[in-house]
Amino acid sequence: MDTKVLSTAGKELRSITLADEVFGRKVSDGVIYHAIRNELANARVGTAKTKTRSEVAGSHRKPWRQKGTGRARAGTYQSPVRVGGGVAFGPRPRDYSYRMPKKMKRAAMMSLLSQKVSEERLLVVEDFTVEDGKTKKLAEIMSALTAQERTVLILGDDDAMIKRAGRNIPWLRYLSYNRLRAHDLFYGQRIVLTESAAQKLNEFYGGEE
């Protein structure tokens, strides 16, 4: 498919071809769901922990004798039924991360790109840079293209100046073409590709799955 390339001022310059197998495929909600779930699971720290009855500090003396008091039997002050006692089935430190099949992850990214194209939320802009790394300059460029919506900028090269300028723009996220994140793409209201990123995505995802 052909789409227009915009200048940094939002004016049409020329056309570029986007590969149909990357930007025009059938959208699979299932693989998108699994890709987002995988990213969120891998980001979990998993350090939540409570103390069991064996870890709670305090005396291990039997509170009162077994029989003859008329009270319920009690063997320890650390029992989970007592205030200040241990927790019976509380969280323990664990690793929530897991690996997702490479083909499924690739399919998810292509589905997300295709979804944004079908919703007319994907733009291609000419290659640019912010030479002084100033946030104001990048904010002006992105505002002309997206009206300050939640935006994802996909770069073809690792441009340190653009990344530096974009750190203070709360509605902007930036990704490299070969390190896409499903969560950012799905929730981005506008996806902006640089021209070089569009060409590299054609090659990177256009080959064998």
Question: Domain-by-domain residue ranges, the chain?
Answer: 2-27+102-206
Treating both helix axes as pointing N-terminal to C-terminal, what angle do 29-43 and 102-118 enclose, rounded to 10 degrees? 120
Treating both helix axes as pointing N-terminal to C-terminal, what angle do 195-206 and 102-118 enclose, rounded to 10 degrees? 140
Q: Quick one: tokens of 157?
A: 């090269």
pTM here is 0.84
Q: What is the mean pLDDT of the chain?
A: 92
| 2-27+102-206 is a CATH 3.40.1370.10 domain | yes
Phi, psi of 16 (to 5 degrees): -140, 150
Per-residue pLDDT for 24 more than 70?
yes
Using the structure block, give the residue that is written with the tokens 């919506």: 149
Span of 46-50, 133-137, 203-207 with lowest mean pLDDT: 203-207
pLDDT in tens, 105-164: 999 999 999 999 999 999 999 999 888 889 999 999 998 888 888 999 999 888 889 989
